[in-house]
Structure 1
């Protein structure tokens, strides 16, 4: 017999053992994160050169509003807030150094975030697996910087519950306030999340009452001081933002024609997340009671993951164009990472890792044919991103805009001079290029006056003492809607107070009159029609006629509106010249009225209508409404109408 010994024979080197080697070197970890951070670099330029366009226009408006110190929630109502300019790439009035500091802050946070994603202990196979997954997720089309600011609060909030730290808590409070003043939709969710986080810490984790009250006080002081510093009416900003969010769903909806497969896959992914949360809840109900609060933190995490995932799902498919369709699959991938990194339950980690892989497969298989290929040569992509970083830094130091080139005739610019100007409907870039004195209505562009509240705010502006001296008017619309129905109440104020004095380049130039005409209600009648039935008008008088239409969703329509997007409605307007034009109709816009005296089809018609309230040979003879049926009717067939006739004198 041989004597026993502690000596063991060397284990054979296998591929599995190599992949399972622990990585403890900080140099390797930092180098790995550096590569991921370079791949994640989002900017092709330090700042964009201003150009015309509906989206570029509101970006320019954010810059001009900042310079003029207009009050948010009162003078300005918009999706973005006073810090929204940080999320855009214009430095018209924002100092380049300020934008560089903000970008640097984001970059540092991204590096720390990526580092925190690394498993502990870190194995070689982790590095090899997470690299392509992150590269695919990062390469997905969709908002990135906007969501990153939001995600930082969500992610570190969950980590705070596992490892409470006072410094991290106050960092979260500051980030919550910044998010609120950046973008209203994310900001309101963040405030709800932060309040629930603080309450969870106090109630479930039995936190200190002084710490809880101090945290709420600090958050309140940050909001109040931020509102003062950023020229914001805090209550007005909150209320008006809720109206913007509420009106967006109906007014901005676009049906994803020929992309239903992508819709079904996204909803399927969300359903998997929902069912997993239900399974966890059931297992927790029947599991032995534990003395720690870890399961409740997991529940908190899953609860907020589902809320945010649903918001992303709605955002992606309410306005289902190429700029929004990918939002859910990209941003929900980051939420899946949150669960994988944070929760202690191994089966949940594995399940959500599977969902992340599924997201990547779905994107590669179904989204790529729509949006283009992802680079697979990561060495080349890294070198390209490194060049972009250098280009960005060079621009940050040397950036300067070319001198804006005037787009209006000299004669008109001389007439306007330094008098105040607004633009209808959308092309605010005209103000920037021509160096005009901008005085906007609260909802900056016509398509953004989503409901009666926002339209009334714009109308009140035009009837107030602070109304702009000039209005530059174009006849354009979006999404197939009737351009004259976007801002009906504002249009009435325009008729009361402005007159056309010039015309150039498909634009009318309206000047404020010394006296405001009175709009007097002469008669009112109510009617009820059904879908497809014509409302006969055939008016021959000189009055202004407005139809207010109220539609009702069916139970199916309400469910569709809540969980996907609103049912679609059309409006057909027939004129005395025997022509009929079909437009997309929006229930919230119909409720605030449509002028049905004459149909306006182009700028020439608009000019005649603004001057005489009529258009030759285009008196409206009838109007009808129809619904586009998706599987079954989304609207009740009955439509209640109020027809008001006004004398403008």
Structure 2
């Protein structure tokens, strides 16, 4: 009886984590903008993979936990399916009572990351399906849901499926292998259709995920305290050893160790490639794993050491971020359950309150940014989609709707081709706001010439945006002249010839062998671009090579929104003052991850930007 009650409490805790009973509301900033945008895209019936290309899929609200009236039912249904999966895991693993109570307390008081909740599921589902006798379909179906929530989970899901199939077939248990693998294969198209997505777009969804995954590290990396990385690696090694030395029945250790190492690798990349609050993902993965594995380990001492290691990693990483002033452990756990009960009560008896809070949040955003009502479709550059959505204008976005994520040539080309299609919006709101100190033209600069060809500058408003309106007739574009190719060396200044009407540039730079390996395992050194202008100014920017394979405007240099307006107006003084005289591509401290030779390719600025 006591054992059942302890396990039931753990199940209830995990179910409460899976169900977004108290969802977030719209806010300002990059993360809040993409969370609202993907929810709005799903609510508007936009097709993922075609009209929307992002790291999240149609079930994104399960990950973002953001409320939207048009996706709340979908979010709750997805959370319920994931909750069923976690309940099935606990049912199959049957953790020891003391371990279940301890895991419940620690998770209710310390765990915060929805990333970790999704990342850990494939390994835990594999553990459950190989140790149990039933429930393979209940364990497998949520894996299909994960794939349509966040595409980067594909490697972990595939590895779990392949491992389970091999082990179960070797045992002669083909029925469970078919149930587990088949439930995932069937769940993906069924859930895709239930989300209102056309079946023939599923392939496009996966094609869009590949460049988003492959280009992430080079484009989005940032540095943090190295001692955090080393500490996490040491604690992760302890957890891995504790798992490896458990006597894992007749299937051997290799399934657990292989999938655990894959999970730890993905958690490491998720936490430390962009080393800011993302580090919480890595620490919470260790915490969740250690808590759930503690209850099924037969060698309790090693499992206890793993739990202590995960707690040390959590304490050193999580407290450095906005949760530092937390109440004591039991008070936090009590607050977790109290908050969930209140949220459930409110949903049952006062469901209208969520809608009221949602519209109030949008109203606050509208008053803050004061965007006008425009007739026809509207898109916004570069990334603050929440500002546009709060204005109640009809959102008509480009496929890669956050400019900072168009970080490979394929992604940049999708946005440029959209501007040439029949689906372009009537109006654009544009503000130059690169992230991480990037060269401004990197973020959708490959679309600027096409944008100027199809749109005219209407006004420059006081809220920091340029208002552009679609031209009644598209300006003719002259064919580009032959490319000028200039060889260069990293760390050495390269003189830029004076062009009659400015230059577009593409950069060909490649990683060294060390950079390719290090970029796969962790992240390569970031490149910097030093720029010297004709008026004597020296500027320095973060440079992302994948965003400059497609030609982007280089000279005259566009540094902010006002400069972009001057470029569109063709102001001679701006062209003269911001003409680029020399550039220097380099790495602070020396470039070991990049080949020393690179090439600058210049073509005259297109007439749409040079007139």
TM-score (norm. length: structure 1): 0.82
- 1:61 deviates by 1.0
Pair 30,223 (structure 1): closer, same or farther in 2 beyond 3 Å: closer
Q: For the Cα contact (< 8 Å) 2:446–2:552, is it kept in 1? A: no
Unaligned 5+ segments in structure 1 are 1-23, 285-292
Q: How does 1:36-47 map to 2 (within 5 A)?
A: 46-47=22-23
Equivalent in the alignment of 2:68: 92
Equivalent in the alignment of 2:266: 311
Pair 330,27 (structure 1): closer, same or farther in 2 beyond 3 Å: closer
Equivalent in the alignment of 2:190: 225
Equivalent in the alignment of 2:168: 201
- Structure 2: how far apart are the matches of 1:97 and 1:278? 41
Pair 297,169 (structure 1): closer, same or farther in 2 beyond 3 Å: farther
Which of 334, 341, 346 is 2:288 aligned to? 334
Pair 30,218 (structure 1): closer, same or farther in 2 beyond 3 Å: closer
Equivalent in the alignment of 2:603: 644
The answer on 1:483 being equivalent to 2:443 is no
The answer on 1:143 being equivalent to 2:103 is no
Match of 1:48, SS state, is coil
- Structure 2: how far apart are the matches of 1:170 and 1:519? 59
Match of 1:584, SS state, is strand
Pair 276,644 (structure 1): closer, same or farther in 2 beyond 3 Å: farther
Pair 548,277 (structure 1): closer, same or farther in 2 beyond 3 Å: farther
390-399 or 371-380: which moved more? 371-380
Equivalent in the alignment of 2:493: 534
Deviations 1:500-532 (A, max 9, x none): 112211101111222143252112122221122
The answer on 1:520 being equivalent to 2:520 is no
Match of 2:145, SS state, is helix
Pair 60,35 (structure 1): closer, same or farther in 2 beyond 3 Å: closer
Which of 14, 23, 29 is 1:53 aligned to? 29
- 1:180 deviates by 1.0
Greater Rg by CA: 1
Match of 1:628, SS state, is coil
Q: For the Cα contact (< 8 Å) 1:527–1:642, is it kept in 2? A: yes
- Structure 1: how far apart are the matches of 2:24 and 2:177? 43
Q: For the Cα contact (< 8 Å) 1:550–1:587, is it kept in 2? A: yes
- Structure 1: how far apart are the matches of 2:537 and 2:72? 53
Match of 2:479, SS state, is strand
- Structure 1: how far apart are the matches of 2:252 and 2:128? 10
Q: How does 1:227-266 map to 2 (within 5 A)?
A: 227-230=192-195, 231=197, 233-256=201-224, 259-266=225-232
- Structure 1: how far apart are the matches of 2:255 and 2:325? 35
Pair 42,140 (structure 1): closer, same or farther in 2 beyond 3 Å: farther
Equivalent in the alignment of 1:324: 278
Q: For the Cα contact (< 8 Å) 1:420–1:468, is it kept in 2? A: yes
Deviations 1:168-219 (A, max 9, x none): 22223321211111111114531342243224322x22233x7756765554
Q: For the Cα contact (< 8 Å) 1:597–1:613, is it kept in 2? A: no
Q: For the Cα contact (< 8 Å) 2:108–2:336, is it kept in 1? A: no
- Structure 1: how far apart are the matches of 2:244 and 2:83? 36
Pair 361,639 (structure 1): closer, same or farther in 2 beyond 3 Å: same
Equivalent in the alignment of 2:561: 603
- Structure 2: how far apart are the matches of 1:409 and 1:586? 30
Equivalent in the alignment of 2:256: 301
Q: For the Cα contact (< 8 Å) 1:424–1:472, is it kept in 2? A: yes
Q: For the Cα contact (< 8 Å) 2:242–2:306, is it kept in 1? A: no
Which of 521, 545, 559 is 1:587 aligned to? 545
- 1:627 deviates by 0.4
Equivalent in the alignment of 1:354: 305
- Structure 2: how far apart are the matches of 1:573 and 1:409? 33
Unaligned 5+ segments in structure 2 are none
- Structure 2: how far apart are the matches of 1:179 and 1:409? 35
Equivalent in the alignment of 1:424: 381
Q: For the Cα contact (< 8 Å) 2:10–2:103, is it kept in 1? A: no
Equivalent in the alignment of 1:565: 523
Match of 1:65, SS state, is helix
Pair 216,618 (structure 1): closer, same or farther in 2 beyond 3 Å: same
Which of 54, 59, 73 is 1:78 aligned to? 54
TM-score (norm. length: structure 2): 0.87
Aligned length in residues: 592
- Structure 1: how far apart are the matches of 2:45 and 2:317? 46
- 1:342 deviates by 4.7
- 1:149 deviates by 4.1
Deviations 1:5-24 (A, max 9, x none): xxxxxxxxxxxxxxxxxxx5
Deviations 1:9-40 (A, max 9, x none): xxxxxxxxxxxxxxx535753675489669x7
Q: For the Cα contact (< 8 Å) 1:72–1:82, is it kept in 2? A: yes
604-613 or 563-572: which moved more? 604-613
Match of 2:531, SS state, is strand
- 1:118 deviates by 5.8
- 1:261 deviates by 1.1
- Structure 1: how far apart are the matches of 2:303 and 2:524? 31
Pair 238,32 (structure 1): closer, same or farther in 2 beyond 3 Å: closer
- Structure 2: how far apart are the matches of 1:588 and 1:133? 44
